[in-house]
Chain A
């Protein structure tokens, strides 16, 4: 815990507040800039308008990127939830040989630098002819999000008494029936949280996407490309929308896990 003396405690508090401000100020500056009427990026904005939101929603290329991002996030998050959930269950409940090795393999995309994952996926997808395809994009995002799902669900499964499942089997319930009627209803808050994390993880992804997406534009990839070409205030509007979306999603996770009393175990 934090040291006993009031001075050291104050120092730690000051550092904490500084860190928080350092992290949030850039986000907070982006929001008023997105409502600016000026043609170039200026802070503070000379006057307020919604012109950059109109530009964003009126631009078919932005709308297409939005649609691609949403579709990729929707499919890959559900796929990651299925695969990661099954893997987490098998790893937590199983007692087979090579379990630690398998777990390390599943968690690798989270630990290995993203750029290396991106290059590996680039080469692998090129080899099977899926480079630049929509399917390739979905596969890559699924792979990146499986470890996130495994982390969230792994904790939840470990906390769930295996004897409850054993009793269900002894009462005659098959494995699938037990998962559906006993395990999933109790793990629902964590499953929802894992899905949200996977969805955001996919929606935010830019490094791997830049390597493998080919002609497909996702929202973060397009933002990055726009920044390179010209500094266009439209991206502040996009950024603001993304911030609002992420904050709402995380608030939903906090609310649901908090209600289930699981927030602490999942995040610590």
Chain B
């Protein structure tokens, strides 16, 4: 178990910078997510930390040890890919025993460690199956068990739930979080799914075009984004003009709707353009005066507004966050 530190990590391919001067510090036992669109350099960063690639400049430390030029084998890392990357010719148990065999741990002790790891991911009983006989969720659990069975210093997850359907993904998110807390292993996850990032992480690092945009706790990044990119990437963002000429962010859940006139001075008349029913919530797309549009998310309590209806929208001044 260790901390991770990146200092000015840069990776260039010719003139293209996949990662540019990235600094990051992940403390012991922390769960940090690198979040960004495809091509933002997040996978490059992960491969640099895993030792599958070498940075052009900058240094990487794991547990205080400079591993910038160390091979993947020397880093003691648990690695999980979206494609599971299980060894197809081995059984579930043989897959999990693999890192132990490499470390010259054998016999009853290896068997006990492997079975414990499989129990941890709730796969006990499937030891003798082949990967091809398992569902996607089960395969990813095997990959997780294989990545933690040898007590790695850190755990790296590359879009681990990306290939699963929504329901399974949500289930595995909870399990992944519990597993990480039980083991207390320092974890770095890479994803483009902002919901996953918000729900799993202690902190989020938002990346765009190889550059760090913000490193913050999920609520902080969501409500007080460092810039417009972060505001829009983490969810639906309404921008309103502020008296000083800057733009202010108001999240849809902070927008209030009322039908009986303005509740306070900041209320503005608006027309419902679209009402989208989402189960627990209704999302309204509204048109304000002057062609400005705004999105509001309101808990569904039995009745909803209909398109064409005139309402008043308002928000507290404390719910506005100025962005640049």
Contact = CB atoms under 8 A, between A and B. Distances in A.
Contact of A170 (B78, B86, B89, B103): B78
B51 interface: yes
B51 A171 contact: no
Contact of B73 (A161, A173, A185): A173
A166 B79 contact: yes
Contact of B150 (A166, A172, A174, A181): A172
Contacts of A182: 87
A186 interface: yes
B71 interface: yes
Interface in A159-178: 161, 163-164, 166-174, 177
Given A167-B85, A182-B87, A186-B89, A172 B79 contact: no
B315 interface: no
Interface in B73-89: 73, 75-79, 81, 83, 85-89
B81 A163 contact: yes
B90 to A, nearest CB: 8
A174 B83 CA distance: 22
B50 interface: yes
Contacts of B146: 167, 171
Contacts of B98: 168, 171, 173, 181
B12 to A, nearest CB: 14
B83 A163 contact: yes
Contact of A166 (B75, B85, B147): B85
B226 to A, nearest CB: 32
B150 A167 contact: no
Interface in B42-71: 50-52, 71
Contacts of A173: 73, 98, 102
A142 B98 CA distance: 36
Contacts of A163: 81, 83, 85
Contacts of A171: 79, 98-99, 102, 146-147, 150
A172 B102 contact: yes
B94 to A, nearest CB: 10
**Interface residue tally on B, bucketed by range:** 20 to 34
A185 B50 contact: no
A166 B83 contact: no
B275 interface: no
Interface string A168-202: 11111110010001100110000000000000000
Contacts of B147: 171
A237 B161 CA distance: 63
Nearest to B76: A172
A174 B89 contact: no
Interface in A103-158: none
A186 B85 CA distance: 13
B264 to A, nearest CB: 56
B72 interface: yes
A167 B102 contact: no
A168 B94 CA distance: 13
A214 B50 CA distance: 56
Interface in A48-94: none
Contacts of A185: 89
Interface of B: 50-52, 71-73, 75-79, 81, 83, 85-89, 98-99, 102-103, 143, 146-147, 150, 156
13 contacts: A161-B85, A163-B81, A166-B79, A168-B98, A169-B51, A170-B50, A170-B51, A170-B72, A170-B79, A172-B76, A172-B150, A173-B98, A182-B87
Given A166-B85, A167-B143, A172-B150, 13 more contacts: A163-B85, A164-B87, A166-B72, A167-B79, A167-B146, A169-B71, A170-B51, A170-B73, A171-B79, A172-B102, A177-B102, A181-B98, A186-B88
